[in-house]
Amino acid sequence: MRRPLSPILAKVAEQELNETPDRIQQDIIILRVWIRQQPHLRARTDDDFLIAFLRRCRYSLEETKRRIDRYFTYYNLFPEIMNNRCVTQRLLDINRLGVCLYPDMPKCDNRTALFIARFGHFDPNLYMLREIYHFSSMAMEIVALENDYASVAGICEIIDLEGVSSDKMRRFDKVFFRKWWNWLYHCSPLKIKEMYIINMPKDIQSTIMFLYNVLSMQVNYPIRVLKSSEELFEHIGKECLPEEYGGTNGHMAECIAYMEDLLNSYRGYFEQDCRYGTIEELRHGEIATYEAEFGASGSFRKLNWD
């Protein structure tokens, strides 16, 4: 049973995502039939999972199929992140580091959900960066299923670089980061709407600004480098930020506990992850079907894709 959206979110979903409640179940059925018809594809078909991808693709069936295919193709292309996704004690320990935070309620004024990444809060001698992203991929999938603000209104991401040293940057794997960025931009069911970079140490400024310039040319959302965390107040309401950032949205410890509860509740979900992926030897060429282009009722559905 799908969760009903709040009136505000329902309006956002209708105006920005082309969501029509009466048509959702029909779209889900179309996707399930299509998945069964793909000999190479082993994909999840539960309602919430498919709805998250439909929302990410603004209910273009054609783009939703492509994104789902890419998502499960990355089980083969990006095994460092997409293989062995199980809720282990080490995964819970990574969550407790507070490197990636996912505050719950309340939300920002612009209704987007908030993510905070603090890469200075883990010891690279104890944890590899790919372990952090491995955790993040699982957490983001859970958020896509659990947080309607995230799946409907998108993500506002804060990159806090406090504690990131030049030594950590020397260990930075650019090839791995490029694969992660491609997964995030082309596969993830969540849409980033804006990004803020704060607390950038001087000794890594040139490296970060290089990445900033590269990423700014590749994405269609604003990436802003702020001189201080206080500047966040000009862009994000205090009611959205945790108290450690001068806001009123609880403490970081509560964000960590919130995600730990979710991870534990999704143990069975991720134990099934080994069933999914693609068998490339069985892949046929992609064929655009009538309903993929125009929908089951013939209504125009091929949208201008961002």
Tens digits of pLDDT across the chain (306 residues)? 578 898 989 999 999 999 999 999 999 999 999 999 999 999 999 999 999 999 999 999 999 999 999 999 999 999 999 999 999 999 999 999 999 998 765 455 557 888 999 988 988 889 988 999 999 999 999 999 999 999 999 999 999 999 887 777 777 777 888 888 889 888 999 999 999 999 988 888 777 777 777 777 777 788 888 988 888 988 888 888 888 998 888 889 999 999 999 999 999 999 999 999 999 989 986 543 334 333 444 343 444 434
Q: Which backbone phi and psi does 195 adopt, to 5 degrees?
A: -140, 140
Cβ contact 191:218 at 8 Å? no
Q: How far apart are CA 226 and CA 299, in angstroms?
A: 44
Residue 27 lies in a domain: no
Q: Provide the domain count of the chain.
A: 1
Looking only at the bridges linking them, the beta strands covering 223-225 and 100-101 are unpaired
H or E, element range at 158: strand 155-160
Residue 112 lies in a domain: yes
Residue 213 lies in a domain: yes
Residue 150 lies in a domain: yes
Report the CATH number that the domain containing residue 221 is assigned in CATH. Answer: 3.40.525.10
pLDDT of 285: 67
Closest CA to 132 of 94, 182, 172: 94
pTM of the model: 0.87
Closest CA to 189 of 218, 156, 151, 135: 151
Would you tell me how many other CB atoms lie within 10 Å of the CB of residue 285?
4
* Half-sphere exposure for 117 (CA within 13 Å, toward CB): 20
Could you give the residue ranges of the DSSP H alpha helices within the chain?
Answer: 7-17, 21-37, 47-56, 61-77, 79-82, 89-97, 129-146, 148-153, 166-170, 174-186, 205-218, 252-265, 267-271, 290-294
Residue 161 lies in a domain: yes
Residue with tokens 């372990």, as numbered in its chain: 131
Residue with tokens 């029509």, as numbered in its chain: 20
Question: What residues make up the domain containing 139?
Answer: 89-266
pLDDT of 256: 94
Residue 187 lies in a domain: yes
Residue 62 lies in a domain: no
Residue 78 lies in a domain: no
